[in-house]
Amino acid sequence: MAGAIILILAALLSLTGSIFVAIAAIGLLRLPDLYTRMHAASKAGTVGSGMMLIALALVSAGSAEALRAIAAVLFFILTAPISAHLLAKAAHAAGYRLWPGSVLNEMPALDVAPMPPDAGDGMVGSPDAQESDGGAAAPHGAPPQIAPRGAA
């Protein structure tokens, strides 16, 4: 009885985990720029693989593998935000622009990397900086030039 319930729970967890991973992959394909893609991949991807590892821990409960699977889940929860944050910060500092439909960029340009000369007034790109891979169109029509950079 209890074993059957654990099997059903593991099946549901592995199904939901794989659906989360698929949502992350679809977001990676469909979202318009680097930063939104990172948001999809790091959050939904971590939740998906973590759920599948918890399903494995449930099925092999009591063995050493269950403990290892739990340790792996904890490790991913610990490291995924760090790597995503580091990559986003490096890309922002290196001068990769935000999607023109972004409404807020509170982070001033860092001085660690040589900035392109025309990126001085905020990272909100001109319309020709839009992605050329057929991403989603801007939801507000023509992207307004909102540059609330810093406190000014």
Which stretches of the chain bind other proteins, using CB under 8 A? 1, 3-5, 7-8, 10-12, 14-15, 17-19, 21-22, 24-26, 28-29, 34, 37-38, 41-42, 45-46, 48-49, 52-53, 55-56, 59-60, 63, 65, 68-69, 71-72, 75-76, 79-80, 82-84, 86-87, 89-91, 93-97, 112-116, 119, 125, 129, 131-133
- In 3-state terms the chain splits into helix, strand, coil percentages (rounded to 5) of 60, 0, 40
Task: Name the burial class of residue 6, with classes exposed (0-12), middle (13-18) and buried (19+) by CB atoms within 10 angstroms of its CB.
Answer: middle
Whichever of 34 and 146 has its CB closer to other proteins, that residue is 34
Whichever of 63 and 151 has its CB closer to other proteins, that residue is 63
Distance CA 9, CA 54 (A): 10
- Asked whether 75 and 51 are in contact (CB, 8 A), the reply is no
Whichever of 88 and 138 has its CB closer to other proteins, that residue is 88
